[in-house]
């Protein structure tokens, strides 16, 4: 039985074993931006999940661009060395390729870890000033950011370029720009959060000006032999916000710049925004963007069932699927999906004896 989910895919000259991606998931366990032993264990485990690609969590291009005190960064030599240690480990012991998502949190920075409350840092929690497209807080009780100046934008563009260069030196197999979930790039793109009256606000073209400058700088830092993509929002789920037609315009701009793929997510722009809760709710958005742009497209959002994941690919709705919490729940989800779809996926030789060809319970799907 053939399964589209387990067919190889080539992007920018690199071949990925299958269409399964471990989505970037913040662990809030860094040490002043540096990856820790937690990341070594967490990502090392997911490198053998059966996925073709594991994307490291949102990795911030500036210290003040982190979401929390525990978020990863790639803005210093220490950050680079710590992350290189983790990536080298994953390449050495894992079967998956390893990517990284470059980010700046914007007005959602300076916040608590989720298990600390997930709100804005209080005065006694070492908060830092935030910046954004406009001086509008993420929600009630959040810090009011400073509206960025052109000098600020130039600084951030340079920071993205430098972080991308660090990612290439580390040896990541793919690089991804975070342009969704209400963080800095997304907040410039949406008319809900960008209420500027200068050349960076107002019209769609103006709102795209700073995001495309970042995209161009990252593209210039990443060789064409390294797949480069972006996580984009397909819908803000807010009146006056980005819809799929506007998302298509931005995706086309990324393609023109030379991006190889998009990962289609949605929501997260404001504290009040509420996403749908249907498994695969972003798939129609991904399908529309894929058909309109021809970009390699990844779908993400409550995808759990292997048959649903396979159908998304086989029916041409997306080229790849990304899973997050499902991978935390079952770090060998790819192995289980292969069994459910009547096929096999690569696993480390130390675990071959648990495969369906050597172990009856696995063959029965037990």
User: Residue ranges per domain, the chain?
Assistant: 4-364
> So what's the pLDDT on residue 364?
66
pLDDT score of 207 more than 70: yes
Q: Is 183 a residue of the active site?
A: yes
pLDDT score of 366 more than 60: no
44 or 346: which leads in pLDDT: 44
Closest CA to 59 of 104, 94, 98: 104
pLDDT score of 359 more than 80: no
Mean pLDDT of the chain: 96
> So what's the pLDDT on residue 37?
97
Q: Compute the Cα dihedral for 262, 268, 270, 274 and give only its sign.
A: positive
pLDDT score of 129 more than 70: yes
Per cent of the chain over pLDDT 70 is 98
Please, where are the H alpha helices in the chain? 37-46, 77-93, 150-170, 184-189, 204-207, 209-221, 244-257, 283-293, 306-314, 325-329, 333-340, 360-364
pLDDT score of 224 more than 80: yes
Q: Quick check: pTM over 0.85? A: yes
pLDDT in tens, 28-51: 999 999 999 999 999 999 999 999
Closest CA to 101 of 14, 21, 178, 184: 178
> So what's the pLDDT on residue 358?
76
pLDDT score of 1 more than 60: no
The span from the CA of 132 to the CA of 109, in Å, is 10
Q: In the CATH hierarchy, which fold is given to the domain comprising 4-364?
A: TIM Barrel (3.20.20)
Q: Which of 28, 75, 183, 259 is catalytic?
A: 183
Report CA-CA distances (Å) from 324 to 23, 156, 270, 297: 5, 28, 21, 17
């Amino acid at each position: 039985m053939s399964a589209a989910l387990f067919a190889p895919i080539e992007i920018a000259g690199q071949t990925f074993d299958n269409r399964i991606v471990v989505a970037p998931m913040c662990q809030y366990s860094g040490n002043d931006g540096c990856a820790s032993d937690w990341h070594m264990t967490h990502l090392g485990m997911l490198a053998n999940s059966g996925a073709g690609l594991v994307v490291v969590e949102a990795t911030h291009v500036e210290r003040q661009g982190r979401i929390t005190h525990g978020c990863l960064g790639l803005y210093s030599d220490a950050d680079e060395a710590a992350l290189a240690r983790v990536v080298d480990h994953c390449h050495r012991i894992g079967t998956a390729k390893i990517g990284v998502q470059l980010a700046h949190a914007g007005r959602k920075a300076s916040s608590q870890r989720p298990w600390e409350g997930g709100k804005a840092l209080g005065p006694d929690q070492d908060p830092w000033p935030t910046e954004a497209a406009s001086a509008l807080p993420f929600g009630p009780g959040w810090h009011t950011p400073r509206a960025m100046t052109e000098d600020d934008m130039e600084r951030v563009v340079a920071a993205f370029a430098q972080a991308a260069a660090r990612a290439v030196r580390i040896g990541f197999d793919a690089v991804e720009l975070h342009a969704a979930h209400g963080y800095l790039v997304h907040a410039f793109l949406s008319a809900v959060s960008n209420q500027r009256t200068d050349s960076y606000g107002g019209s769609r073209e103006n709102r795209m000006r700073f995001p495309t400058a970042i995209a161009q700088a990252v593209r210039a830092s990443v060789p064409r032999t390294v797949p480069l993509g972006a996580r984009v929002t397909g819908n803000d789920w807010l009146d006056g916000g980005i819809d799929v037609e506007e998302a298509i315009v931005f995706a086309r701009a990324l393609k023109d710049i030379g991006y190889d793929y998009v990962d289609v997510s949605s929501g997260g722009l404001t504290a009040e925004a509420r996403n749908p809760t249907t498994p695969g709710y972003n798939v129609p958005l991904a399908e529309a963007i894929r058909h309109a742009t021809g970009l390699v497209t990844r779908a993400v959002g409550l995808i759990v069932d292997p048959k649903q994941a396979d159908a998304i690919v086989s029916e041409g709705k997306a080229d790849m699927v990304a899973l997050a919490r499902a991978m935390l729940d079952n770090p060998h989800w790819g192995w289980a999906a292969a069994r459910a779809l009547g096929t096999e996926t690569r696993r480390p030789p130390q675990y071959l004896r648990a495969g369906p060809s050597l172990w009856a319970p696995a063959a029965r799907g037990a």
